[in-house]
Amino acid sequence: MGPDPAVAAVRHAVRGALASLPPGAMVLAACSGGADSLALAGALAFEAPRSGRPAGAVTVDHGLQEGSGARADTVVRVLTGLGLDPVGSVAVTVGAEGGMENAARNARYAALDEVAQRFDAAAVLLGHTRDDQAETVLLGLARGSGTRSLSGMGSSFTRTCSTPERVATVLYQRPLLELGRATVRRACLAMGLEPWDDPHNDDPVYTRVRVRHEALPVLEKALGPGVAEALARTARMLRDDADALDELAEAAYADLTASEQAGPTRGGDGPRALVTLRLDGLGDLPRAVRTRVLRMAAIEAGSPPGTLAAVHVDAMDRLVTAWHGQRHVDLPGGLRTFRRYGRLLFGPA
C-alpha cells in the first residue's frame, strides 16, 4: 500500500524541487514547527537520501513569544528525529522598522541566508502553500501596487548576501506553492508529526490573518468554492506577464542609458545627474514598459524601492508624456527627477 495521497503530493512536489538542484548538493528546509513547514521537512527527509543529496533544517527563534526558545528546541528534536542533518535553531532580534511583520521577515531571512552560506546549501526550501499565495494576491490588490505585486510569490527566488569573505547568492524554493493548506496539513498529520499552531496566525491584529479568516471566507461564500485556487492561478499568469514586461523594460533601459550617464548638466545650470535617460524613444514605449524604465532609473539613482510609489512613477511619466514646463518631481530618498535638453535626469534634490 502506498502513502497517503496528501503525503504523496507533498513528496512529489519536493522531489521536483530537488531535481532542479546540482547532484549531491546540500539542501535545507526552513521549519517553524507549523504544519506546512513540518510536512515540508518530513518530505525532504524522505526524498533527499533517495536523490543522493544531504539535507538539513533550521528553525528561527524570533523571540516574540514567551517560551519561544523552548519551542525552538522542540522543533529541533523533531527535525533530528526525521533524520535530517545538520539541524539547528537560530535566535534573532526583531526590530521595529516597517512594522513587526516586516521586521520579523527581514530578521528571519538574514538568519537563513547566514546558515545557507555556512553549510554551502544549494537551496533553502520554504513551506508556503497555495493559500498563502491567495492571501498575498489579495494583499497586493488592496495596496493597488501593480502587476508585480498581484503576481504573488514566485516558486523560487535568490537573495544576494555579503560577508567579509565573499558576496554570495542564496536560492530559495517554494515547492508546496501549488498545494492547498488543507492537503499539506493532512500530509503532516499522516506522517505522524504534531504541528505547533502559532497563536500569531489567529491574531486579527495582523492584516494577513484578517484576510485568511475573514476576507477569503466571505469571498468563498459569495462566489463559491475555489477562490484561493483562482487567485493563485491568476498570480501565476500575471507573473508570466510581469516577467515579460520586465525583460522588455530592462532592454529599453539599457538602450536609453547607453553612453548617457552624465556629469554636471549642460552649462552647469543644474545638479549633477546620477542617472540619465534619453527622451528620444522613451515616450514611444508602451506605458507598461515606460513606467518600469522610470522606476528602474529612480531606484538606480538611489530611491528606496519600498517607498517609491505609483504616485511618484505617474508624476515622472508626466514629465515625459505631458510636459508643460513643470520643473521636477521629488522622489523618496532625497532625489529629484527633472527634464533638461532632451534628457530625463535623476539626481540629488
Mean pLDDT of 32-61: 96
Residue 260 has a pLDDT of 57
pLDDT tens-digit profile of 258-315? 755 544 444 344 445 689 999 999 999 999 999 999 999 999 999 887 788 888 999 9
Task: Give the residue extent of every domain in the chain.
Answer: 5-240, 259-348
Q: Grid coordinates representing 215?
A: 476576507
Residue 272 has a pLDDT of 54
What single-letter amino acid sits at 224? G
Classify domain 259-348 at the CATH class level: alpha beta
Q: Which carries the bigger pLDDT value, residue 114 or residue 162?
A: 114
Q: Are strands 328-331 and 275-278 parallel, antiparallel or unpaired?
A: unpaired
Q: Which CATH number fits domain 5-240: 3.20.20.140, 3.10.450.50, 2.60.40.10, 3.40.50.620?
A: 3.40.50.620
Residue with cell 513587526: 100
* Binding residue numbers: 32-37
Helix axes 130-143, 227-257, angle to 10 degrees: 60
* Binding residue numbers for ATP: 32-37
Least confident among 14-18, 219-223, 284-288, 325-329: 325-329
Residue 105 has a pLDDT of 86
pTM assigned to the model: 0.82
Q: Name 260's Cβ contacts closer than 8 Å, sequence gap at least 6.
A: 276, 277, 278, 343
Q: Would you list the DSSP string of 55-122?
A: EEEEEEE---STTHHHHHHHHHHHHHHTT-SSEEEEE-----TT-HHHHHHHHHHHHHHHHHHHTT-S
